[in-house]
Amino acid sequence: MFRIVLNRAISAAILIVIASVFSFMIIAAFPGNVAGLIAEMRGGFVSQEVVDAVAEEFRLNDPLALRYLHWLGDVLQGNLGVSLRTGENVSTAMAQRLEPTIVLVLGGSVVTLLMGVMMGFAGAMRPNGSIDQLIRVIAVFNVSLPKFFLAAMLIYIFGVQLQILPTFGFRGPLSWILPCIAVGAVPGALLSRLIRVALEEAMSRPYVITAKSKGFGRRHILFQDALPNIVPVFLTTFGMNIAFVTQSSLIIEPIFSWNGIGAYFVEAARFRDLPVLQSCLLMFSILFILVNLAVDLIVMLADPLQRRARGA
């Protein structure tokens, strides 16, 4: 088991290095004169001397590999550079914006989990019944809606018409509800369909026939026999949905005026703040890799067949 964990950790470390290379390349591949762009964003008269000084400061004249090594060394020390737009330290700014993003990702993951499990089991209780058909329609409707449109609908219904939930700013638990629903509804609908199909497939296995012959009802068989057998598939899909929830923060945070990392990334893209773009891309990539690593290890712990297959 230790060897399997070590191999997966090494693979994750290699992926993180590759992600750092692609994050760094955003400046190297940026069209135009990057030094001139940085000088213009700093304001004042832009002369050739100023452009040359900026190029020297950011090591833009060094070979690409050397620039990457210098940048990676700074990142490993916690130095993510300085924002071109505001002049603030990117590491400090991201630390200040981390709480809203963590709340959104965790809250959206909870919504995804609850929605997926409840809708999946409700449909599996009576296959092809009226409840199952209704849940299928709701799931398809949720998946078809763009996230920004769903967020706008939630704001209009619960904030404008009913006026029961806040729709602006990061102001406590009540203000978390709508953004977390907007983030978790689509992956929750996808997860519910997977659980529904996986449970129905599990109910066709021989052990279910044995359980029925013993007089157990469908509810008991679903929870006691079918559920443990779909755990690996469920965990894998749920882990992928966490990454989907994280990406959704780029859209949802600005809509609800949350000053998180997703909104920070959108601002950086709008004003071409290259150091911030670099840092946000690197952070999202590392988060995606670590979440998938954690899910992979949990699945191996939950499924002895996978442990034996990977250890072979």
Percentage of the chain modeled with pLDDT above 70: 91
Residue the block writes with tokens 């400046």: 27
pLDDT band at 305 (very low <50, low <70, confident <90, very high): low
In a domain, residue 152? The reply is yes
Q: Note whether 176 and 38 are same-domain residues.
A: no
Instruction: Report the domain count for the chain.
Output: 2
pLDDT at 43: 66
Rounded to an integer, the average pLDDT of 103-109 is 91
pLDDT at 256: 92
In a domain, residue 294? The reply is no
Question: What SS3 class is residue 15?
Answer: helix
In a domain, residue 299? The reply is no
In a domain, residue 310? The reply is no
Write down which residue in 55, 85, 115 finishes a domain.
Answer: 85
Q: Which tens digits make up the pLDDT trace of 56-79?
A: 777 777 788 888 888 888 888 888
| Closest listed residue to residue 32, CA positions, set 282, 274, 299 | 274
Q: Is the confidence at residue 130, as pLDDT, over 70? A: yes
pLDDT at 226: 81
Least confident of 254-263, 268-277, 295-304: 295-304
Query: If you count them, how many residues does the chain have?
Result: 312
Q: Note whether 120 and 42 are same-domain residues.
A: no
Give me the domain span that covers residue 49: 2-85
Cα dist from 138 to 15, 116, 123, 141, 153, whole Å: 37, 12, 12, 5, 15
Helices 2-28 and 304-311 cross at an angle (nearest 10°) of: 80
Least confident of 35-39, 124-128, 149-153, 227-231: 35-39
> Which amino acid makes up residue 123?
G
pLDDT at 67: 84
In a domain, residue 10? The reply is yes
Q: Note whether 157 and 223 are same-domain residues.
A: yes
Based on DSSP, count helices (H) and strands (E) in the chain, helices before strands: 15, 0
Q: Pick the residue with more confidence: 227 or 114?
A: 114
Q: Phi and psi at residue 82, in whole multiples of 5°?
A: -125, 135
pLDDT at 103: 92
pLDDT at 308: 54
User: How much is the mean pLDDT over the chain?
Assistant: 83
Task: Please list, residue by residue across 143-165, b when 16 or more beta carbons sit within 10 angstroms of its beta carbon and e when fewer do.
Answer: eebebeebbeebbeebbeeeeeb
Q: Note whether 66 and 107 are same-domain residues.
A: no
- Asked if 289 and 12 count as a contact pair (C-beta separation under 8 A), the reply is yes
In a domain, residue 286? The reply is no
Q: Is the confidence at residue 14, as pLDDT, over 90? A: yes
pLDDT at 304: 58
Q: Is the confidence at residue 98, as pLDDT, over 70? A: yes
Q: Note whether 120 and 214 are same-domain residues.
A: yes
Rounded to an integer, the average pLDDT of 200-223 is 81
Cα dist from 40 to 37, 47, 274, whole Å: 5, 10, 13
**Measured distance CA(80)–CA(71) in Å, rounded:** 8
Q: Note whether 102 and 219 are same-domain residues.
A: yes
142-146, 182-186, 201-205, 271-275 — most confident range? 182-186
Alpha helices for 85-172 (secondary structure H): 90-96, 98-125, 130-144, 147-154
Q: Note whether 177 and 45 are same-domain residues.
A: no
Q: Is the confidence at residue 49, as pLDDT, over 80? A: no
Q: Note whether 172 and 128 are same-domain residues.
A: yes
Q: Is the confidence at residue 48, as pLDDT, over 80? A: no
Q: Pick the residue with more confidence: 58 or 292?
A: 292
Q: What is the DSSP letter of 89?
A: B
Q: Pick the residue with more confidence: 212 or 306?
A: 212
pLDDT at 267: 87
Q: Which tens digits make up the pLDDT trace of 215-264?
A: 888 888 888 878 778 887 888 888 878 877 888 888 899 999 898 888 88
